């Protein structure tokens, strides 16, 4: 009986060069995402000397900065972190749409895994829940997804 070929990523960050891009907007939330991502990567073998953290104004700037980092071919993967919280105007929808579309485009254009850790929340409470409390830490999840994808791509 034959068995399928299974390709899966090892959760091992040893030897990788990683960039985290994090917004200053809503930094009281985003700093928790950064902390989670850094802790996850270091516990999975990342050498801190190979980690670069880039602080940027807001989520709208995430695609440009991720793209520039990916184009440099200096990093094996990128973690994009931010928090957009709905206000009284449609601004939220424009920022979320452009940020998510631009990050996805960056991954495809440069074949560089980007962990999508942008919270898009209706309230501050929802953001707090996703930044290290009730609903986990989306910075950790984004770092884990990026790491797994790097290790999968190496085998394809």
> 50 to 79, contacts with ligand INI by CB under 6 A?
57-61
Which structure tokens are listed for 94?
Answer: 């424009």
The region of 7-15, 41-49, 67-75, 81-89 touching ligand INI under the rule CB under 6 A is: 81-89
101 binds ligand INI (CB under 6 A): no
Q: Burial of 155 by CB count in 10 Å (0-12 exposed, 13-18 middle, 19+ buried)?
A: exposed
* 3-class state of residue 108 by DSSP: helix
Q: 25 among the known binding-site residues?
A: yes
Which residue in the set 20, 33, 80, 95 belongs to the binding site for ligand INI (CB under 6 A)?
A: 95
Pick the closer one to ligand INI by CB: 38 or 65: 65
Based on the residue annotation, tell me whether 44 is a catalytic residue of this protein. no
The arrangement of strands across the sheet holding 18-23 comes to 51-56, 18-23, 77-85, 114-121
Question: Looking at residue 74, what DSSP letter applies?
Answer: -
Pick the closer one to ligand INI by CB: 13 or 33: 33
Q: 103 among the known binding-site residues?
A: no
Q: 32 among the known binding-site residues?
A: no
Q: Is 20 left (phi over 0), alpha (psi -120 to 50) or beta?
A: beta
87 binds ligand INI (CB under 6 A): yes
Minimum gap (Å) between residue 82 Cβ and ligand INI: 5
Q: For 64-150, where are the E strands, in sequence order?
A: 77-85, 114-121, 131-133, 136-137
Q: Given the rule CB under 6 A, which residues bind ligand INI?
A: 23, 25-26, 57-61, 82-85, 87, 91-92, 95
């Amino acid at each position: 009986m034959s068995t399928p070929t299974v390709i899966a990523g090892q959760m091992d960050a040893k030897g990788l060069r990683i960039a985290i891009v994090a917004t200053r907007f809503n930094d009281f939330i985003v700093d928790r995402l950064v902390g989670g991502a850094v802790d996850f990567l270091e516990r999975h073998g990342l050498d801190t000397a190979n980690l670069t953290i880039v602080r940027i104004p807001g989520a709208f700037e995430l695609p440009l900065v991720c793209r520039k980092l990916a184009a440099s071919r200096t990093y094996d993967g990128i973690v994009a972190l931010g928090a957009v919280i709905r206000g009284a105007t449609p601004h939220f929808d424009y920022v979320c749409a452009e940020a998510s579309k631009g990050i996805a485009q960056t991954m495809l254009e440069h074949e560089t895994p980007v962990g999508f850790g942008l919270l898009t929340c209706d309230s501050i409470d929802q953001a707090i829940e996703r930044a290290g409390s009730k609903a986990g830490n989306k910075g950790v999840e984004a770092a884990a997804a990026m790491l797994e994808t790097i290790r999968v791509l190496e085998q394809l």
